[in-house]
Chains A and B, each alone.
Chain A
Amino acid sequence: MQPRISILICTCGGQILEKIDLNVLHEKIKDLDHVTGIKTVDNLCKLETSDIRSYISDCDRVLFAGCSERSSLSFNEDRIHSLLEELGIDISMYEVANLREQCAWAHSDKNGATGKAIDMVRMAHAKLKLNTPAVKPPEIVKKALVIGGGPAGIQTAMEAGNSGIDVTLVEKNHYLGGHACQIPFLFQCEGWPSMCTSECIVPVQARNVIFNPNVTVLTNSLVQDIKKENGNFKVTIQKRAEFVNPERCVSCNKCSDICPEEVEREFDCNISKRKAIDKDFYLAIPDTYNIIEEACTKCGECLNVCPTDAIDLDAKVEIIEDTFGAIALATGFDSFDLSRLQELNYGENVISSLEMERLIARGFRDAPEHVVFQLCTGSRIEEGEEGVSYCSKTCCGVAVKQIERLTSMSPETEVSVVYNNDIRTYERALEQFYNDSKDLVDFINGRIMNVERNNGKLNITVESPDGDEEDIEADILVLSEAQIPAASDMIEKLGLRTDIYNYPLEGQPRILKPTESYIDRIYVAGAAGGPKIVQESIEQGITAAMRIVQALKGKKPQKFVSTVDSELCSACKICEKVCPHGAIQVDEEAVVDSAFCQGCGLCVSACPTHALQLTNFQDRQVLEQVEVAFGNLSEDEPRILALLCYWCSYAAGDLAGYNRLQLPENLRTIRIRCSSSINSGLIMEIFRRGVDGILIAGCPPKNCHHVSGNYMTAKRVRLMNMLMSQIGLSPSRLKWEYIGVPMWKTLGKSIKDMDKALRKLGRIKVRG
């Protein structure tokens, strides 16, 4: 069926009319093919849908000529989408000729502006007639998987469950609560310098999921495999052997009493023992005993005493397969391995901060005379040292909190803190703990260089920033260890992009997307995304759950989706490497899972075989626009084409208009997808079609919405500039700029500079 295009021109209350002769425009575009009608209105944004409907009869696509779809405050693309939905027109079937921001407001000469406006409508028309219907997303399974049963994971599962989502919560330990249950006193919040006991908080929180009818809790379980399948996640979960049936166990402790095998109690950081059959701690939820398989000799004594027949020594591993529409990664943190810092002699009486929590929980048998803390152990390191270079954020606060606990339990204990240049007890509550500890503690700026054990005492050598050494004798040395990301295997299985520390990256714009990752419907909550106090993890759990609830309502049709031409695909896997959204998998050939595709085009520009193309942003559509872009420009004028990225740079182009920055009339712009959606061959082809200068602009560094498309294009242009120099083409014909939304002046200057340079160089010439 032939396209039927309706064109709606808006005068914008006269603002466009003032600068563009709409009669001439109308005359020049009325014979464009497939146009069923052209209507000029005064204020499109103020019209009722019914009016608009009456203006656009008999069409399957609409060309709006008026304000910017990106930046308009009253008629932007979201509004257009809703309008089209109301009108029953496919949301892909529209284009906008941005006559206001990037023409009427950018040029003062009415003739020039009118000529450009004609070209702009022709460009939009050239693209629109090749548009294809939005891609219908697959059915998203209304089930969520939460990986990790600490505070963040529990909260996510509970909130999503309460909102009617079917949730499976997988926890590797036998109990819920994660590290939070090992910490007897938890900070409350940033504003209140007090603590709550985890013995209250964790069971209260955990009961909310255990008894939630929508949440299935799988403790002692591991996520084995995650595969994306038709828009959803196909997950294999390994539930390890359940030797004690939680349905029957009454936690009477008879089995444990009789069990002859003793092992270290991991929950207590191995400072106490437990039986092979035991509970990790008395308040553990679910309220059931468990068996440590490696320690159990299967002597059967426990079977004899169990009053409820809850024990099955032949229990087997169970494999559970299920499909989910969303995943929350809430795997918390791991502690930096302190044994890697050999000079600190980690071991007896030299303990980690987490081990100190367990000591505080259990109480000291004999009050120590002197306890030394060292902050920033393995964090904030210099290059070449063991550890991580970031600040683990919570540890200074944890140390002063532990000092408060320690000194209230044993007032006579002397405390010293060795700190790394500053103490980072941020925000009101932690700073209060710090202030309260000042009278009790000897704060020493420096670093521990050596620790020796001597008759039950520790000899600690501290070096000051000036290089002076001081020896301290102590009973216990507490090392505030760095927090590092846990579950890197999970991050890999999910295919999440990470920062250099292996924490998953949040999606851009990060300010608006807490907990969202770069992969659609994968969320990262709590300490899995970086060190946090428990309340912050809870907040993130609530946020992630809210996002899950929204996401599982299903996806809208997508205008821009990457598609594969299998004839052309060579399965070289480059696309899989560059896709930041985990949407492509290559076996025999590349397969795009459209539900994960965000239509950025990174794969398109990286695909060497041109097998990948974006729907509604095909190379062909770009070239068709180029063909008509300069129709109203005299032959000797240099042609400038600015390819502006969908988010930042195009908006900067609009703001230049808002600010009435006057730009050369020989400029045309195309709103491209990510700045990395245009490949080098296409750039050359655009030159071949007579464009004299191309400016590509994308988001500023570290602001790319697709991780690093801006960097990719910066590199692409760098290589192309080198190439152009080699073959005698002036590199000033192809430029790259980082242009953020407010950088309209930079954009304007760059365009004007290019215009000047091109006027010196003359038109690009293609040999016969």
Chain B
Amino acid sequence: MRLVINWAASCGGCDVSLLDCREVVMSLAEHDVLYWPVALDFKQKDLKALEDKSMDFGIVNGAIRTSEQEEELKIVREKCKVLVAYGSCACFGGIPGLANQFDRESILRRAYVEAQSNLEGQEVIPKPETEIDGFQLTLPEFFDSVKPLDRVVKVDYYVPGCPPSSSTIEEFARSLSNPPERRFFASDKSLCHDCPRNQTKGAKKIAKINRPHELKADEECLLEQGELCMGFATRGGCGGRCISVNMPCRGCYGKLPAMVDVGDAISTIASITGNGEDYIPAPKIFDALNAVKDPVGLFYQFSLPSSLINSFSADRSK
């Protein structure tokens, strides 16, 4: 098996997750890795030198933020028979995708002018081309928004997770030699479906939204205890590694297949928060919800760029 492994806008955790997985490391001996810049000293020219469609698998993690990432992704696509979006950033845009709340100018301004670590009065904003002493310096273009891989090229398989859990990686590694029909290495059912705590879910509503440290019962449904656990709207298959240590699901395995948008979860949360609300005056019904300060961060933590809500042009400059 001939492999290409590349990264784009990502934290590096996905590459580490591959190295962390015994099954993957053991199987590396059987495969030829012809490009993996994180692990070994490869340059883009090495990638370009490969013959088109000569690679069996291209595994790309990270989202597309810059022109260089886009360019390399297109090359990987050309070189590989099968392209795999590896990790939540590649699949849905991931954490870097939260930047899609803002446009390029405001991001660069924030990072290179307003941030306290900048020298006051010195407004140096990186540009694709800069001329210094007669020399032309270039940098990759910083795009206006972050995109998941499938907004740039065709993706054959999705391995979600931030990073993918070892069970998912193992399943994926095993299937390299025998690619499956389904394109998502995750369950088509929600995390609740496999969650041992689901049985404790009852009829009561969430009277108060709590934060993880306020958790009371170790065995009970987190949602029932007022934790905004996104397991109900997230694909299972991760093995429940967060919920097993009392951390609510944040949705890194992505939305369920039939959901119109990750934001469908808003509908659910609005339906189940509040207590005795049939009795209380209308303005007070929002009390429980006031704990939600950042709907994008809560519902779209890993998937803003691939979401429907992100497909609208802004009404005002962001």
Chain A contacts to B: CB under 8 angstroms: 495, 497, 499-500, 505, 565, 567-568, 570-574, 576-578, 602, 605-611, 619, 676, 679-682, 684-685, 687-688, 701-702, 707-708, 711-716, 718-720, 722-724, 726-730, 733, 738, 761, 764-767
Partner of A708, one of B190, B258, B278, B296: B278
B285 touches A568 (CB 8 A): no
Cα(A718)–Cα(B299), bound, Å: 14
A570 and B190: CB pair below 8 A?
A: yes
Partner of B289, one of A578, A715, A724: A715
* In the bound complex, CA of A764 to CA of B315 (Å): 8
- Given contact pairs A568-B258, A571-B192, A684-B308, A701 touches B232 in the complex (Cβ within 8 A): no
- Report the minimum CB–CB distance from B277 to chain A (whole Å): 5
Known contacts A572-B201, A716-B266; A499/B192 CB under 8 A: no
Closest to A606 in B: B271
Shortest CB–CB separation between residue A376 and chain B, in angstroms? 21
Given that A684-B260, A719-B295, A726-B294 are known contacts, is A572 also in contact with B192, CB under 8 Å in the complex? yes
Within 8 A of A (CB), among B251-266: 256-261, 263-266
Q: For the A-B complex with A577-B201, A723-B299 known, give 8 more contacts whose Cβ atoms are closer than 8 Å.
A: A499-B278, A573-B192, A681-B308, A688-B311, A712-B270, A715-B273, A715-B274, A718-B286
B269: which of A576, A685, A719 is its contact (CB, 8 Å)? A719
Known A570-B192, A765-B313; judge A688-B308 contact (CB<8 A). Answer: yes
In the complex, what residues of B have CB within 8 A of residue A765's CB? 312-313
- Closest A residue to B262 by CB, please name it: A681
Name the distance in Å between A622's Cβ and chain B's nearest Cβ: 12
Contacts of A687 in B (CB 8 A): 312
Determine the chain A residues whose CB is within 8 A of the CB of B314 once the complex forms. 727-729
Contact at B258–A573, with CB atoms within 8 Å? no
5 A-B pairs (CB sep. < 8 Å)? A578-B271, A606-B271, A680-B267, A723-B299, A728-B318
Query: Which residues of A are found within 8 Å of B282, using beta-carbon distances?
Result: 701, 711, 714, 738
Indicate whether A728 sits within 8 Å of B315 (C-beta atoms), given known contacts A610-B259, A708-B278: yes
Q: Is the CB of B258 within 8 A of A609?
A: yes
Q: Which of B189, B233, B236, B296 has the most CB of A within 10 A?
A: B189
* Partner of B193 from A571, A607, A610, A682 at Cβ < 8 Å: A571
Q: In the complex the two chains form, is B315's CB within 8 Å of A761's CB?
A: yes
Question: Inside 8 A of A567's CB, which chain B residues have their CB?
Answer: 188
Which among B188, B279, B309 has the highest number of chain A CB atoms within 10 Å? B309
User: What mask results when residues 66 to 89 of chain B are scored 1 for a CB within 8 Å of chain A, else 0?
Assistant: 000000000000000000000000
CB distance from B126 to the nearest CB of A (A): 24
On chain B, which size bracket covers the interface? 35 or more
User: Can you name the residue of chain B whose Cβ is closest to the Cβ of A619?
Assistant: B260
Contact status B190-A719, CB under 8 Å: no
Do A716 and B258 have beta carbons less than 8 Å apart? no
Q: B134: CB under 8 A from chain A? A: no
Contacts of B201 in A (CB 8 A): 572-573, 577
Is the pair A609, B263 in contact by a Cβ cutoff of 8 Å? no
The number of A-B residue pairs with CB atoms under 8 Å apart is 194
Contact A680–B308 (Cβ < 8 Å): no
Residues of chain B in range 290-311 having any CB-CB distance to chain A below 8 Å = 292, 294-296, 299, 304, 308-311
Identify which of B101, B190, B260, B281 contacts A727 (C-beta below 8 A): B101
A715 engages B268 (CB within 8 Å): no
Q: Are A767 and B313 in contact (CB under 8 A)?
A: yes
Compute how far the CA of A702 lies from the CA of B309 in the bound complex, rounded to whole angstroms.
32
Q: How far is the CA of A571 from the CA of B195 in the complex (A)?
A: 10
Q: Which one of A571, A602, A727 contacts B271 once the chains associate, using CB atoms below 8 Å?
A: A602
A505 to chain B, nearest CB (A): 7
How far does the alpha carbon of A682 sit from the alpha carbon of B296 in the complex, in Å? 18
Contact B292 A719 (CB under 8 A): yes
Answer whether A574 and B272 are a contact pair too, CB < 8 Å, given A718-B286, A722-B292, A726-B294.
yes
Q: Which residue of B lies closest to A687 (CB)?
A: B312
Are A609 and B277 touching (Cβ within 8 A)? Answer: no
Known: A577-B203, A730-B316, A767-B313. A570 touches B193 (CB 8 A): yes
Residues of B with C-beta under 8 A to A681: 259-261, 263-264, 267, 308
Contact B278 A680 (CB under 8 A): no
Is A766 a contact partner of B313 (Cβ separation < 8 A)? yes
Contact A573 B198 (CB under 8 A): yes
> Is B205's CB within 8 Å of the partner chain A?
yes
Asked if B276 is at the interface of the complex by the 8 Å CB criterion, the answer is yes
What residues of B have a CB within 8 angstroms of the CB of A727 in the complex?
100-101, 296, 304, 309-310, 312, 314, 318
Chain B neighbourhood of A719, CB < 8 A: 266, 269-270, 289, 292, 295
- Least CB separation from A702: chain B residue: B278
Measured in the bound complex, the distance between the Cα atoms of B277 and A500 in whole Å is 9
Contacts of A685 in B (CB 8 A): 260-261, 308
* Known contacts A609-B256, A723-B309, A738-B282; A679/B264 CB under 8 A: yes
- In angstroms, Cα B135 to Cα A693, docked, is 52
Q: Considering the complex, which residues of chain B in the window 190-210 have a beta carbon less than 8 Å from any beta carbon of chain A?
A: 190, 192-193, 198, 201-205
Among B232, B259, B281, B312, which residue has the most Cβ atoms of chain A within 10 A?
Answer: B312
Q: Which of B266, B277, B286 has the most CB of A within 10 A?
A: B266
CA separation between A726 and B99, bound complex, in Å? 11
> Which residues of the partner chain B approach A684 to less than 8 Å between Cβ atoms?
260-261, 263, 308-309
Contacts of A711 in B (CB 8 A): 274, 277-278, 282, 285
Task: Give 4 closest A-B pairs by Cβ, nearest first.
Answer: A681-B260, A728-B314, A572-B192, A570-B190
A701–B281 touching, CB < 8 Å: yes
